[in-house]
């Protein structure tokens, strides 16, 4: 077990050696007893084994949580979570990770949140912040939960890829009868050399609404008739009434009473405001749903006020770091996708704000694309619903013919016409989240884009005449140009590696436009020794 103090923050690192002979051995024995000791290659059998493995670790995690009967353990976990946020801010400000593995740290923070959420279900006895031997005892337990949680997330990922790709994994056992899960075919090479290597840069260079937090606070102020900063300061004023400890709990019912009195608003409105920031046993997700629905607003990620039942009384545990984090995540990865806490939906003004932000957010990505097109002097049409025609009325296509097209871009040097739809997708960081995106692309976005591509391919002369009019061209022909469908996306998602159409992130858009970036081609040597070139889409036969 490693308990580190880095930049003044306490961080637990991922350790697994002590738990392999306990949990991994038990899982292996369970799977062998149920399915047998052999190589599993069939899609349905593999998926069933992955689901059982996921459920195995889920139950182990849940049972460890339910052992805790005092508040002390969750108070300590809360402290570690606040420490992790402070550490993350320092890393983003340029400090080194030190001995901390970045990927492990991400899982660590998720696991801490899972622990805190699931504690809301337990009737707890009061307890103080641990000292001495109890800290070591809690560290050991959190290490176990860290190990179990890491495997819960791993199996959730493998299940998601198995469902998206179909027949993606093989399950086997080593000489010690320990279970192993491997990618099939060339999939591991694609995952390692393309997906894992490209994704970080695409995330860090996405476009974002720089006014998102400000706009959310303004909407909360207007819709609830409050001052957000004042409403938050009430939390800390009440805490200081009892002690100056950051770990001081308070009774949550006092918050709306104080806010309603100070602002002269209805208590029910103040309650809805704070309820939208609170997570308790009445609205928290089950452990399984918390894993499989990571972007639900019924998560501690979005709701920074934890409400526990301690000695039969509701007590709220609230951290300054978590308040900041939740506001940022709500503003940047929820509101613009028509997602707000249910309690805030009771306020019609907040619903209107959510709808407005949802309508506006595609424009952020499209504006960036247009700026790059102008910079590089490409001919294009944006948000086109009709085409100009010489000596005739405009031809409307925003109907059964094709539908509105976000961008038509002409690359005269490459003699290509790109027909593109832009998708300002919510930032998602795991295959569980990618899966819903992938389904949307396959079932909805692809058929829509195909219709538009086919129409342009069959009506290049109409596009040509439109371009001649808007660009004042007398002699211009594109009838021999190839037509290609594209998606422009903000942040990476699995579809970009396995879709019918290329999906280009905004990070790579300009280099793609200039021909400097093409989708990678990998060389793969199969089991017979034959070298195969693996091209997009990478996970299809």
- Mean pLDDT of the 148-177 span: 97
Instruction: Convert the pLDDT of each residue in 305-361 to its tens digit.
Output: 999 999 999 999 999 999 999 999 999 999 989 899 999 999 999 999 999 998 888
Domains in the chain: boundaries? 3-184, 212-352, 378-534
Instruction: Convert the pLDDT of each residue in 209-224 to its tens digit.
Output: 899 999 999 999 999 9
- Give the pLDDT of residue 426: 87
Instruction: Convert the pLDDT of each residue in 192-204 to its tens digit.
Output: 999 988 888 888 8
Residue 326 bridge partners (DSSP):
none
**How far apart, in whole angstroms, are the C-alpha atoms of residue 289 and residue 118?**
11
- Give the pLDDT of residue 360: 87
- Give the pLDDT of residue 359: 86
Are 243 and 309 in contact, with CB atoms under 8 Å apart?
A: no
**How far apart, in whole angstroms, are the C-alpha atoms of residue 28 and residue 33?**
9
- Give the pLDDT of residue 425: 87
pTM exceeds 0.95, yes or no: no
Instruction: Convert the pLDDT of each residue in 115-133 to its tens digit.
Output: 999 999 999 999 999 998 9
**pLDDT tier at 205 (50, 70, 90 boundaries)?**
confident
Are 494 and 437 in contact, with CB atoms under 8 Å apart?
A: yes
| Res 1 pLDDT > 70 | no
- Give the pLDDT of residue 260: 98
**How far apart, in whole angstroms, are the C-alpha atoms of residue 158 and residue 514?**
36
Neighbours of 362 (CB within 10 A): 17
On average, the pLDDT of the chain sits at 95
Instruction: Convert the pLDDT of each residue in 179-191 to its tens digit.
Output: 999 999 999 999 9
């Amino acid at each position: 077990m490693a308990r580190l103090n880095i930049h003044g923050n306490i961080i637990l690192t991922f350790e697994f050696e002590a738990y392999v002979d306990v949990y991994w051995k038990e899982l292996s024995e369970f799977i062998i007893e149920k399915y047998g000791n052999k190589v599993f290659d069939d899609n349905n059998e593999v998926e069933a084994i992955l689901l059982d493995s996921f459920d195995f670790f889920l139950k182990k995690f849940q049972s460890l949580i339910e052992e805790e009967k005092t508040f002390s353990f969750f108070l300590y976990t809360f402290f570690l979570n606040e420490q992790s946020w402070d550490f993350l801010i320092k890393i983003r400000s340029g400090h080194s990770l030190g001995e901390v593995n970045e990927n492990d740290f991400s899982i660590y923070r998720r696991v801490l949140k899972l622990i805190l959420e699931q504690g809301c279900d337990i009737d707890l006895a009061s307890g103080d912040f641990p000292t001495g031997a109890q800290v070591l005892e809690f560290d050991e337990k959190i290490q176990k939960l860290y190990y179990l949680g890491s495997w819960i997330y791993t199996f959730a990922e493998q299940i998601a890829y198995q469902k998206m790709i179909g027949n993606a994994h093989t399950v086997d056992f080593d000489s010690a009868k320990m279970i192993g899960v491997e990618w099939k075919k060339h999939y591991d090479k694609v995952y390692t050399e393309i997906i894992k290597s490209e994704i970080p840069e695409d995330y860090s260079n996405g476009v974002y609404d720089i006014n998102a937090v400000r706009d959310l606070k303004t909407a909360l102020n207007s819709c609830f008739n409050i001052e957000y900063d004042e409403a938050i300061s009430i939390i800390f004023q009440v805490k200081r009434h009892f002690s100056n400890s950051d770990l001081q709990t308070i009774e949550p019912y006092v918050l709306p009473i104080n806010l309603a009195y100070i602002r002269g608003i209805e208590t029910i409105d103040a309650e809805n405001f704070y309820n939208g920031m609170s997570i308790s046993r009445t609205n928290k997700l089950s452990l399984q749903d918390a894993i499989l629905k990571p972007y639900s607003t019924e998560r501690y990620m979005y709701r920074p006020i934890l409400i526990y039942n301690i000695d039969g009384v509701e007590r709220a545990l609230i951290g300054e770091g978590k308040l900041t984090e939740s506001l940022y995540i709500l503003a940047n990865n929820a509101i613009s996708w028509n997602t707000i806490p249910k309690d805030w939906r009771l306020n019609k003004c907040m619903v209107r704000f959510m709808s407005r932000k949802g309508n506006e957010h595609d424009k952020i990505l499209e504006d960036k694309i247009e700026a790059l097109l102008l910079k590089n002097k490409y001919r294009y049409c944006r948000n086109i619903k009709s085409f100009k025609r010489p000596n005739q009325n405009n031809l409307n296509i925003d109907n059964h013919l094709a539908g509105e097209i976000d961008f038509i871009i002409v690359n005269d040097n490459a003699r290509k016409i790109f027909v593109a739809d832009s998708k300002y997708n919510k930032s998602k960081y795991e295959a569980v989240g990618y899966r819903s995106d992938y389904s949307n692309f396959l079932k909805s976005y692809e058929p829509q884009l195909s219709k538009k591509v086919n129409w342009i391919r069959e009506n290049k002369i109409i596009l040509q005449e439109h371009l001649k009019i808007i660009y004042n061209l007398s002699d211009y022909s594109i009838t021999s140009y190839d037509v290609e469908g594209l998606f422009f996306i903000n942040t990476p998602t699995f579809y970009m590696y396995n879709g019918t159409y290329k999906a280009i992130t905004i990070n790579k858009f300009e280099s793609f436009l200039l021909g400097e970036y093409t989708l990678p081609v990998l060389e793969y040597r199969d089991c017979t020794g034959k070298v195969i070139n693996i091209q997009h889409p990478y996970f299809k036969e």
